[in-house]
Amino acid sequence: MLNYVHAIPTKVFFGEGQIRRLPEALAAFGKRVLLAYGGGSIKRIGLYDTIMALLHEGGFTVTELSGIEPNPRIESVAEGVRLCKDNDIDVILAVGGGSTIDCSKAIACGVFYEGDDLWQMIVTSGGFSKALPLVDVLTLSATGSEFDGGGVISNMKLNEKLGAGLTFPAVSICDPTYTFTVSPYQTAAGSADIMSHIFEGYFSREDDCELSDGIAETILKTVMKYTPIALQDPENYSARANLMSCSSVACSGIPEYGKEDTGWPCHAMEHELSAFYDITHGVGLAILTPRWMRFILKKDPTALPRFVRFAKNVFGLEGKDDQALAQEAIDRLEAYFRSTGIPMTLKELNIDEKHFEVMADHANRNDRLAHAFVPLTRDDVVEIYRTCL
């Protein structure tokens, strides 16, 4: 069990109706608000009107930044920074899923970025002295951005999508009813994203982290229990609430207490798929994960015990030889993803092998996958992409 630091200053108001806390949460920082959001979904569900009414009653001045992309782009960050500076913004209010929150985190830091090129702030996770305060209202259970300090920003000109350490939300308002209208596709993709955040830490060499492993397994089982219920019955509060809690806790660092940095290989590989093809992050992860598992299990026999634990504790499998257990667990995981209705091959996304070589170079930049649970070379990454076709 390795050393760790736990530091999450974010205050979470969880549950139906918590939006009533919004005016007080914002007022702690000032009256000039940048309202950041994505497409029209927050207008369709009435949340935009609810929030505007609360802000109006509370005497806030609102500047809007809309149209933040599903894979948020550096141009949106730049536009947000400009709006904050021009309007002397006190606090950013992000309303949406992880993309909107990530973009808002980058804007919050970008206001204090000292360099000329905002993209360098993302590349280096630095160059800013502080950040504007950020409050968010979550509308999608997926990235965990409501409870961590990171963000992922894309630069489509460079075909790059990078994660950076930015800033924590001061307050996250997490009302599961705002996810009642999330489409089956986005629900399933969001759940795959939550699960991937767990897999990235769970498959590690530190095998005496009983607390964090147990929490990781709990999250996997909870997501696989409630995703089908949410797909069947989109307004099932218990299902939506458990998924939303899982989203936050999965990214809290707690399921990784004591674990080594694995380089998050599936995220590294997926970010290239999104950077080149702008696909839904969670779908890319679902496609990659079982193929990555089969590849590393074949490449390194010492990975087997971890897969056996996964098979027993997550799927309740028993009684076979270890290799069979591991394979069955991976098969079950793939079958689970497929059962949620998302594409499970790259072909279905019209992706062919054209860019695999350069994507693999990017994914393994700075040899970051050399210290993964099973170290990966760029050739390994190409091979894993191929098995996803």
Note the residues at the interface with a second copy (CB under 8 A): 1-18, 208-212, 214-215, 217-219, 221-222, 225-226, 237-238, 241-242, 245-246, 248-249, 254, 257-258
H or E element at residue 13: strand 11-14
Tell me the C-alpha distance between 244 and 223, whole Å.
10
Task: Report, in Å, the least distance between residue 293 CB and a second copy.
Answer: 22
- Whole-Å CA distances, 289 to 162, 199, 269, 362, 364: 19, 8, 10, 18, 17
Task: Report, in Å, the least distance between residue 109 CB and a second copy.
Answer: 20
Task: Report, in Å, the least distance between residue 361 CB and a second copy.
Answer: 35
H or E element at residue 162: strand 160-165
Tell me the C-alpha distance between 384 and 22, whole Å.
45
- φ/ψ of 110, rounded to 5, equals -60, -30
Comparing CB distances to a second copy, the nearer of 262 and 274 is: 262
Comparing CB distances to a second copy, the nearer of 5 and 301 is: 5
Task: Report, in Å, the least distance between residue 166 CB and a second copy.
Answer: 18
Going by C-alpha positions, the residue among 206, 228, 205, 225 that lies closest to residue 217 is 225
Four-point Cα dihedral 216, 218, 224, 230, nearest 10: -110
Tell me the C-alpha distance between 38 and 104, whole Å.
11
Comparing CB distances to a second copy, the nearer of 209 and 311 is: 209
Comparing CB distances to a second copy, the nearer of 17 and 40 is: 17
Comparing CB distances to a second copy, the nearer of 15 and 39 is: 15
Triad 250, 253, 179: Cα angle to 5° = 25
Task: Report, in Å, the least distance between residue 26 CB and a second copy.
Answer: 17
Tell me the C-alpha distance between 257 and 371, whole Å.
18
Comparing CB distances to a second copy, the nearer of 1 and 335 is: 1
Comparing CB distances to a second copy, the nearer of 41 and 247 is: 247
Task: Report, in Å, the least distance between residue 8 CB and a second copy.
Answer: 7
Going by C-alpha positions, the residue among 322, 289, 213, 295 that lies closest to residue 258 is 213
Residue 250: CB atoms within 10 Å: 31
Pair 136, 146: CB distance under 8 Å: yes
Tokens of 40: 């029209």
Task: Report, in Å, the least distance between residue 53 CB and a second copy.
Answer: 21
H or E element at residue 296: helix 281-299
Task: Report, in Å, the least distance between residue 254 CB and a second copy.
Answer: 7
Comparing CB distances to a second copy, the nearer of 2 and 78 is: 2
Comparing CB distances to a second copy, the nearer of 70 and 253 is: 253
Task: Report, in Å, the least distance between residue 17 CB and a second copy.
Answer: 7
- In terms of DSSP bridges, do strands 160-165 and 11-14 run parallel, antiparallel, or are they unpaired? unpaired
- In terms of DSSP bridges, do strands 11-14 and 32-37 run parallel, antiparallel, or are they unpaired? unpaired
